[in-house]
């Protein structure tokens, strides 16, 4: 597996390079955003490790730029503690994030989880079109229509809605939803799923206080109700 590390910490690059060898991973390092983008455009990689704080740019902005030309799996590396940064990173296309400092074993586990999810395609990926009464979701072109109106969703919101709608009346815990959508445990930050659910309801529900589609199951999680 070929992995690109975009991080200006040369000691981390050296550590990971030696550690990855035992797992059959080949690491290429870039210390700036500009260099990382250039390398990524010139070669094929299986996964990108992207630091959120780079000397010539913000990792969140670089994530967006990468998504304009590549769907390579991205794991964000962040020393920031703010939940909002992690939420934004996942919303704009990152597959996972790992907070520094981290144990290399944890990173290996996260990499394997992301690659498994990409390989298997997540839950019920065969359901290309989902249609219930006045709700329509097409996963091939990522279109959602509610009451005949097209709904604009972020990538994270679409993934979350697809998992719920593909499994109607099934109750998902916050942890299970995060694992299904992002392929990772959620480090106890349940608020991220709640934020996504709130945004989805604002977009698809006529009355967010009495939602028609996405129901809260107190003490358990959420379900898409038929």
- Parent domain of 21: 2-120
Q: Which residues contact 42 (CB under 8 A, 6 or more apart)?
A: none
Average pLDDT of the chain to the nearest whole number = 83
* Domains identified in the chain, total number: 2
Rounded Cα distance, 115 and 67, in Å: 17
Does residue 125 surpass a pLDDT of 50? no
Say which CATH number the domain at 154 has.
1.10.10.10
Of the three residues 72, 101, 120, the one that is the final residue of a domain is 120
The H-assigned helical ranges of 68-190 are 83-91, 104-120, 155-166, 174-182
Higher pLDDT among residues 44 and 89, named by residue: 44
> Which of 23, 85, 35, 75 is closest to 51 using CA atoms?
75
Indicate if 8 and 93 belong to the same structural domain.
yes
Indicate if 6 and 116 belong to the same structural domain.
yes
Instruction: Supply the pLDDT for residue 80.
Output: 59
Give a three-class secondary structure readout of 45-93.
CCEEEEECEECCEEHHHHHHHHHCCCCCCEEEEECCCCHHHHHHHHHCC
Does residue 139 surpass a pLDDT of 50? yes
Indicate if 191 and 149 belong to the same structural domain.
yes
Indicate if 98 and 7 belong to the same structural domain.
yes
Does residue 185 surpass a pLDDT of 50? no
Q: Which residues contact 40 (CB under 8 A, 6 or more apart)?
A: 4, 48, 66, 70, 72
- pLDDT tens digits along 158-171: 889 998 998 888 88
């Amino acid at each position: 597996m070929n992995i690109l590390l975009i991080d200006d910490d040369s000691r981390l690059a050296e550590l990971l390079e030696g550690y990855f060898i035992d797992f059959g991973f080949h690491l290429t390092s870039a210390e700036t955003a500009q260099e990382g983008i250039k390398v990524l455009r010139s070669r094929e990689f299986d996964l990108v490790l992207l630091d959120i704080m780079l000397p010539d740019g913000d990792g969140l902005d670089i994530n967006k730029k990468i998504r304009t030309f590549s769907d390579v799996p991205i794991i964000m590396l962040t020393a920031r503690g703010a939940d909002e940064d992690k939420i934004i990173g996942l919303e704009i296309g990152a597959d996972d994030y790992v907070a520094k400092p981290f144990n290399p074993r944890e990173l290996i586990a996260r990499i394997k989880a992301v690659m498994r999810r990409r390989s298997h395609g997540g839950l019920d990926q065969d359901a290309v079109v989902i249609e219930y009464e006045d709700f329509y979701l097409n996963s091939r072109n990522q279109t959602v229509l509610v009451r005949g109106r097209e709904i604009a969703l972020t990538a994270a919101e679409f993934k979350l809605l697809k998992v719920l709608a593909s499994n109607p009346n099934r109750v998902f815990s916050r942890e299970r939803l995060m694992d299904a959508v992002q392929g990772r445990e959620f480090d106890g930050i349940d608020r991220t799923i709640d934020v996504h659910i709130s945004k989805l309801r604002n977009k698809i529900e006529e009355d967010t206080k009495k939602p028609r589609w996405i129901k809260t199951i107190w003490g358990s999680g959420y379900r898409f109700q038929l």
